[in-house]
Structure 1
Amino acid sequence: MATVQTVLRKKVNAQNLYPITIRIIKDRKTSFISIGQHIALKFWDEQNKKVKKSHPNATRINRLILKKLSEVNDKLLEAEINEEFVSASQVRANVKGKNKIDFFRLAELHLENLKKAEKHSQYLTQKGRVTKFKEFVGKDKLNFKEITVFLLKNFEGYLLNQKKRKPRTAVNYMIMIRKIYNLAISEGLAENSNYPFGKGKIQIRIPESDKVGLSIEEVKKLETAKDLSFAQQDAVNVWLTSFYFAGIRVSDMLQLRKSDFKDGRLLYRMNKNQKVVSLKVPRKAEIILDLYNKPGIGNHDLIFPYLRGTNFNDSKELLTRIKTVTRNLNRRLELVAKELKIDKKLSMHIARHTFGNISGDKIPIQMLQKLYRHSSITTTIAYQSSFLKKDTDDALDSVVNF
């Protein structure tokens, strides 16, 4: 004989909410099945074993409780009819086996795939976003039908207003949720009819970012800077080298080896999109590179010393080390900017923006696409739009200068 009862387990989560469970006692052994819902203690009707009407989702949760109770009793009844022995844990396993994969479980599988593919940067970033979404929802299980336009709008407002995140950050969260929802549809785990994205629903628009680059005069300040510490001068050298090569990303800069330079050209494969790059070594870059081409440096040794001793076969270790070095470089560049009275946030990434700012209207867009190593010219046009000011300036002057 078995007893089945709904109970609110006294096992509080990080949000001080308690899980609603179905308790099965059979042959003096107990097993619990979570229904995937957590509530505050004040909303639980202990006498009637259900959620109080004062809870905003009382009706829906109580229906879910009845459904789960029915599933458990059906399994027990089926075992009785067939004269089969079934334990409390077996009933629990059978009932849980009927449940479809929910959003957070599919998100876990997605994260596991990123980890197996050694895409550690994406893994860590998206794991953080999934965790933040779970904190907002306040429960460990979220069916795809529950991901409504209303829920996503509230989540967006939560990110922008309570967490003070930037609009682009909020967009990144929506892109992550949409990606997992699309995966669910492709796997038959969710219905198109409930899809919360698209026209008249949640439309993802990437906001324009304000890209600020240094001026020629400010770059000259870096080129002629004196009395910097060794660490600061090294940071400036890395920054200038990146700028001289049309804004090579810092992760690629730190991994440049002596063997990447042949016959006065830089030849390397970009980590981001695996594109092969071939660029002439400008004279200014050559002067800096000669400073690091010391006796004893082997052909396959790193140009800049920051990643020496790193296990390049361990992608997670490499990513962690690159992030640490980049953070240190940016801190030193901030100090340099303050000392040189450059009233802009100086970082490694701004070297790319600086090239775009100075190139302006001087270089055809097709050539800029090659220099930036963009896969699509549309990307180049969108990127460069922040720096193309001549046409708008001339148009403005033509109207107001009368």
Structure 2
Amino acid sequence: MATIQAVLRKKGNAQNLYPITIRITKDRRTSYISTGQYIDQKFWDAQNKKVKKSHPNAARINRLVLKKLSEANDKLLDAEVNEDFISASEVSESVKGKDKIDFFVLADLHLENLKNAEKHSQHLTQKGRIAKFKKFVGKDRLHFKEITIFLLKNFEGYILNQEKRKPRTAVNYMILIRKIYNLAISEGLAEHSNYPFGKGKIQIRIPESDKVGLSIEEVKLLENASNLTIAQRNAVNVWLISFYFAGIRVSDVLQLRKSDFKDGRLLYRMNKNQKIVSLKVPEKAKTILELYKEHSFGNNDLIFPYLRGTNFSDAQELLTRIKTSTRTLNRRLELVAKQLKIDKKLSMHIARHSFGNISGDKIPIQMLQKLYRHSSITTTISYQSSFMKKDTDDALDKVINF
């Protein structure tokens, strides 16, 4: 007697999402078939063995589960009709359909899980990378055994030489391909013997990034700049607010509201890691914030106008507006840099590097960790190492100044 049913496994992933699987029990032996779908526990109907209607993709996932259940049941029926012995693991291997689930099918499932977890920025970025890899391969189906060292080396060369992208970008592509390959191995869809990553194969090394920040003199040029257009002045003000608050990210600056400022402090929750931030409002920041008070309509209104009219409950729309606004700000900052003869690429991201550059060796690393809102001091040390030059400068002087 065999039983086949859909179950939600008890072990979740890093996002606290749980895998939907097909459990096959025959002759007191159990085997599982992965559907590739992960959901929050609250969306699983344990009584009816299906995804609740409240899940945004309930209908599609339930159709997939029903298809897997039907395939497993058909396999068992065929065995009974032919009076063949078949074990639970054999049914599982047959239904898994290793020849059906290729790299791009699994990649789509991975993207779907990101979307369901509302990781819209990651979803958008990784969707573009998968599309680029598919275009390079030149076909819609790619079996995992076809992902060879030779193919990956050629793709890496294409990104670096044809696309003229930076080494870090090429590494990001390799990390994503490796992630999906690892998922395939964990789900029994690919053999580890064909794995193209690791020692003597494709080794992923994250290149050290070249962090360049403005100097004190260059920041002063921005603070005292005149003859700017209104649009350029607004872009500079957004940049300075980011810098004055230890380089908070542009996505957070654009979403600052009047209600985030209380008793001379900035209190807000970071979008990247949901940490609560509490920082004193410097006098320089107060001066800029005062300029925008008269344009605010209420305590919950945005400080800067770039995201006004956005539906903040629509994460996809919010992400799109932030990206568009950031590109607009960066274009205007480039014009300002040219006018002020700042020989560095001025962008919103460089505000954080500028804070690191000016702080240099002046502030204890533990305090910088708090200002940067890093979870680990190792992250702070790694980030700040590009700007801490005093020890190496002194050491150099001791050798050559004779």
Please give the range of the TM-score, normalised by the shorter of the 2 chains: 0.7 to 0.9
| Per-residue CA distance 1:194-230 (angstroms, 9 max, x = gap) | 2221222211111011111000000001111112111
| Per-residue CA distance 1:147-191 (angstroms, 9 max, x = gap) | 122221221122112222210010000000011111112212122
1:294 matched residue in structure 2: 294
Aligned equivalents of 1:348 and 1:291: distance in 2?
Answer: 20
Equivalent pair of 1:258/1:299 in contact (CA under 8 Å): yes
1:193 matched residue in structure 2: 193
| Per-residue CA distance 1:42-71 (angstroms, 9 max, x = gap) | xxxxxxxxxxxxxxxxxxxxxxxxxxxxxx
Is residue 2:110 matched to residue 1:110?
A: yes
Task: Name the larger-Rg structure.
Answer: 1
1:227 matched residue in structure 2: 227
Q: Which moved more, 1:145-154 or 1:266-275?
A: 145-154
Aligned equivalents of 2:97 and 2:191: distance in 1?
Answer: 20
Percent of aligned positions with the same letter in both sequences?
Answer: 84
Aligned equivalents of 1:235 and 1:159: distance in 2?
Answer: 32
Name the aligned partner's letter for residue 385 of structure 1.
S
Cα deviation for residue 307 of structure 1 reads 0.7
SS of match in other structure, 2:206 = coil
**Which runs of structure 2 are paired with 1:3-402 in the superposition (5 Å)?**
99-294=99-294, 297-402=297-402
Cα deviation for residue 117 of structure 1 reads 2.3
Aligned equivalents of 1:132 and 1:301: distance in 2?
Answer: 40
Q: Which runs of 5+ in 2 are unaligned?
A: 1-77, 83-93
Q: Which moved more, 1:134-143 or 1:322-331?
A: 134-143
SS of match in other structure, 2:320 = helix
Equivalent pair of 1:168/1:206 in contact (CA under 8 Å): yes
1:6 matched residue in structure 2: none
Aligned equivalents of 2:384 and 2:251: distance in 1?
Answer: 22
Name the aligned partner's letter for residue 366 of structure 1.
Q
Name the aligned partner's letter for residue 369 of structure 2.
Q
Q: Which runs of 5+ in 1 are unaligned?
A: 1-77, 83-93
Give every structure 1 segment of 4 or more consecutive aligned residues whose post-TM-superposition deviation is greater than 4 Å: 94-98
SS of match in other structure, 2:279 = strand
| Per-residue CA distance 1:284-335 (angstroms, 9 max, x = gap) | 1111111111276311111111111110001111111111111111111111
Aligned equivalents of 2:292 and 2:254: distance in 1?
Answer: 13
SS of match in other structure, 1:267 = strand
Q: In structure 2, do the counterparts of structure 1 residues 305 and 296 end up closer, same or farther at CA, with 3 Å as the change threshold?
A: closer
| Per-residue CA distance 1:81-134 (angstroms, 9 max, x = gap) | 99xxxxxxxxxxx99967341111000111112222222221121111111111
1:42 matched residue in structure 2: none
SS of match in other structure, 2:381 = helix
SS of match in other structure, 1:212 = coil
Query: Given the two structures, how large is their TM-score scaled by the length of structure 1?
Result: 0.75
Q: Which moved more, 1:319-328 or 1:141-150?
A: 141-150
Equivalent pair of 2:98/2:190 in contact (CA under 8 Å): no
Q: In structure 2, do the counterparts of structure 1 residues 342 and 96 end up closer, same or farther at CA, with 3 Å as the change threshold?
A: same
Name the aligned partner's letter for residue 332 of structure 1.
R
Aligned equivalents of 2:110 and 2:98: distance in 1?
Answer: 21
Aligned equivalents of 2:327 and 2:231: distance in 1?
Answer: 13
Name the aligned partner's letter for residue 125 of structure 1.
T
Name the aligned partner's letter for residue 393 of structure 1.
D
Name the aligned partner's letter for residue 316 of structure 1.
Q
Aligned equivalents of 2:364 and 2:387: distance in 1?
Answer: 13
SS of match in other structure, 2:278 = strand
Question: What root-mean-square deviation, in Å, do the aligned CA atoms of Structure 1 and Structure 2 show?
Answer: 2.0
Aligned equivalents of 2:226 and 2:316: distance in 1?
Answer: 37
Equivalent pair of 1:100/1:189 in contact (CA under 8 Å): no
Q: In structure 2, do the counterparts of structure 1 residues 296 and 391 end up closer, same or farther at CA, with 3 Å as the change threshold?
A: closer
Aligned equivalents of 1:188 and 1:238: distance in 2?
Answer: 50
Name the aligned partner's letter for residue 177 of structure 1.
I
Aligned equivalents of 1:286 and 1:98: distance in 2?
Answer: 61
SS of match in other structure, 1:183 = helix
